[in-house]
Amino acid sequence: MSNKITAENLLGMKSRGEKITSLTAYDASFAHILDEAGIEVVLVGDSLGMVLQGESTTLKVSMDDMVYHTTLVSKSCQRAMLVADMPHLSYTSPEQALINASRLLDEAGAEVVKLEGGEDIAHIVDHLTSNSVPVCGHVGLQPQSVEKYGGFKIQGREQEEADQILKDAQALEESGAMMIVLECIPATLATTITAEINIPTIGIGAGVDCDGQVLVVYDLLGISGRSPRMTKNFLADSGNIRDAVADYVDAVKSGGFPTDEHSY
Ligand code: KIV
């Protein structure tokens, strides 16, 4: 019998208050380390545009890039759920989104696709989930909209913005999303969203109360050339990659990461 992590497993973890761990991976070797360490969700993030391709944003990542890296990662995800990002401009209509999502699922081996956006993309998420495509949402700071924000900025500090982010998360749940990433929002807002919706929230720069946490694996290893507030270099203390990942898993599971130092 398969011991693959399912959406139902993650829902059960939320209901029991057990933290979900997630990290990005872009190749088979890293994915193997994460899978062995017990990471529940491996994300092939379009952050690969920044940490692999050396771009300053994720905007140039293509569908072919995502299919290639997801195929590599899928070779090593024996237990972890494999989520792949839909890149910028790959889901501008429901029809286009379905064609591109099926490339990630059928060609590359992803189990879930992740899209950035809230109420504005609810009709697209609805079309995907109605066609049996499992979807993870992504609200708060949406890196594909960085040009609209004028930089990588915390979202939801103003009440009106915070209300919209909550509505976005609710719209995604109503459209059938099975999980939502909350990126760079005040910890208090993430606490409210996590309590208000029934599907798991996975935070990055969103405080300790999310149902789980995700980091870009190169940030966790301190090799991405950047150290935003929400990240922590776990390699600095552990000295090797396997122990750094194990320390991250322990810290997330015990509620020891993130602390206020990594939150807004
Ligand atoms: O692209 C990515 O790596 C992500 C995570 C940071 C959540 O979306």
CB 26 within 8 A of CB 33: no
Identity of the amino acid at 172: L
**Cis geometry, peptide bond prior to residue 87 (ω within 30 degrees of 0):** no
What are the tens digits of pLDDT across the range 221-235? 999 998 899 999 999
User: How far away, in angstroms, is 165 Cα from ligand 1 center?
Assistant: 18
C-beta of 61 in contact with ligand 1 (< 6 A): no
What number does the ligand 1 atom closest to the CA of 181 have?
Answer: 7
- Mutation probe of ligand 1 site: the residue of 20, 22, 26, 46 with most atoms within 8 A of C-beta: 46
Distance from the alpha carbon of residue 47 to the mean position of ligand 1, in angstroms: 6
- Which residues, in sequence order, are CB contacts of 185 under 8 Å at separation 6+? 139, 140, 141, 154, 155, 156, 162, 165, 205, 206, 264
Q: How far is the CA of 16 from the centre of ligand 1 (A)?
A: 25
Domains of the chain: 7-262 (3.20.20.60)
Long-range contacts, 253-261 (Cβ 8 Å, 24+): 253/18, 253/19, 253/21, 255/19, 255/208, 257/208, 257/213, 257/232, 258/203, 258/205, 258/207, 258/208, 258/213, 258/230, 258/232, 259/208, 260/187, 261/229
Q: Is the dihedral of CA 253, 257, 259, 264 positive or negative?
A: negative
The pLDDT score that the predictor gives to residue 2 is 75
pLDDT tens profile 24-65: 999 999 999 999 999 999 999 999 999 999 999 999 999 999
Nearest CA to ligand 1 atom 8: 45
Residue 1: predicted pLDDT: 54
Mean model confidence pLDDT for the chain: 97
Whole-model pTM: value is 0.98
pLDDT of residue 226: 86
Cβ–ligand 1 contact at 66 (below 6 Å): no
The pLDDT value recorded for residue 177 is 98
Give every residue of the chain whose pLDDT is below 50, as ranges: none
